[in-house]
Amino acid sequence: MNALLTVNNLSVEYHSRGAIVPAVKNLTFSIAKGHTLGLVGKSGCGKSTAGLAIMGLLPENESRVKEGSLFFQGRNLLNQDPEAWRLTRGREIAMIFQDPFSSLNPVFRIEDQIKEALDPKSGSGHSARAKELLDHVQLKDSQRILNSYPHQLSGGQRQRVMIAMAIAQNPALLIADEPTTALDVTVQADIMALLRNLQREYHMSVLFITHNLGLVKGFADDLAVMFKGSIVEQGPTSQILKNPQHPYTQGLLNCIPKLAPSTGPIPLLADEYMEA
Ligand SMILES: Nc1ncnc2c1ncn2[C@@H]1O[C@H](COP(=O)(O)OP(=O)(O)O)[C@@H](O)[C@H]1O
Ligand SMILES: [Mg+2]
């Protein structure tokens, strides 16, 4: 496999009021170029901690990478200095989060925040590029949105803006941490379809973090199921869904509503179904 990212034996702990919390334990997985890995497990099992470690965004004074390596494009990210991390984020690896509101700055217009996410070296033409990006994430009325402040947008629109900022520099890896959990179900489906299309178009690899196995069924090539900080099962999605080995995975599968769409591709919703 032509791996873009190889996480090897990664262990992360938090230090909280004298106590040590082993949040991630001996995590090992790879993501191939252009592939999607679904990192699945219930709340508190360590999914976000893993994502933040790969992004170099673990809280500095409260956490420690105890062991392991993160090989990305052939180099170990854990050996990078802060300046190299700053260059990696956005250009090579981007991340979107559950709550797009808290990731946007309330006092700046969307246009300024998107320009901020663009490569400063590319200089002029940022306004045109910002509009192009919003068109790309299928936001109607992009000019009005560029002039808006975050509170003037719906949750789905804000998440589209965050996705636009994440893809602005064409990263090789997108980490999506519960990107639809705070959204209504219909908007959720639109965002999933959008991510899928962008992934194909940009040939991105995606680490899709979710507690909802049903959501990644038709999206992830491979799954890694986490339980209490460790991966208990991983492999091709179809294989795990057909024949889950671990009781915890079987439990997760039983949680998928029977009416959920099956493993086929997520259809692109017609324009009239998109929120205004
Ligand atoms: N900043 C922190 N300080 C102390 N413990 C933390 C911190 N962040 C997360 N944790 C703990 O680490 C574990 C894993 O959390 P997290 O990675 O957020 O899980 P998930 O994303 O799967 O819900 C949990 O027990 C959580 O309480
Ligand atoms: Mg989380």
End-to-end CA distance of the chain, in Å?
42
Pair 6, 49: CB distance under 8 Å: no
Whether 43 lines ligand 1, by a CB cut-off of 6 Å, is: yes
Q: If you average pLDDT over residues 12-19, what whole number do you get?
A: 92
Q: What is the CATH number of domain 1-80+209-276?
A: 3.40.50.300
The pLDDT confidence band at residue 273, using thresholds 50, 70 and 90, is very low
Question: CA–CA separation, 54 vs 62, rounded Å?
Answer: 17
Whether 16 lines ligand 1, by a CB cut-off of 6 Å, is: yes
Residues 6 or more apart whose CB falls under 8 angstroms from that of 120 comprise none
Closest residue by Cα to atom 12, ligand 1, is 23
Within a 10 A sphere around the Cβ of 52, how many other Cβ atoms?
20
Question: CA–CA separation, 160 vs 170, rounded Å?
Answer: 15
Residues around ligand 2, an ion, CB closer than 5 A: 48
Question: CA–CA separation, 210 vs 252, rounded Å?
Answer: 11
Distance 148 CA to ligand 2 centre (A): 29
Residue type, 171: P
Within a 10 A sphere around the Cβ of 206, how many other Cβ atoms?
24
pLDDT at 269: 38
Residues 156-199: pLDDT tens digits?
A: 999 999 999 999 999 999 999 999 998 998 999 999 999 999 99
Closest residue by Cα to atom 11, ligand 1, is 23
Pair 233, 246: CB distance under 8 Å: yes
For the chain, domain boundaries: 1-80+209-276
Closest residue by Cα to atom 18, ligand 1, is 48
Closest residue by Cα to atom 27, ligand 1, is 44
Question: CA–CA separation, 115 vs 245, rounded Å?
Answer: 47
Ligand of minimum distance to the alpha carbon of 226: 1
- The DSSP string of 133-200 is HHHHTT-SSHHHHHTS-GGGS-HHHHHHHHHHHHHTT--SEEEEESTTTTS-HHHHHHHHHHHHHHHH
The pTM (predicted TM-score) of the whole model is: 0.91
Check residues 195 and 116 and name the one with the higher pLDDT. Answer: 195
Distance 177 CA to ligand 2 centre (A): 7
pLDDT at 271: 35
Residues 133-158: pLDDT tens digits?
A: 999 999 999 999 999 999 999 999 99
Residues 6 or more apart whose CB falls under 8 angstroms from that of 102 comprise none
Closest residue by Cα to atom 24, ligand 1, is 44
Whether 125 lines ligand 1, by a CB cut-off of 6 Å, is: no
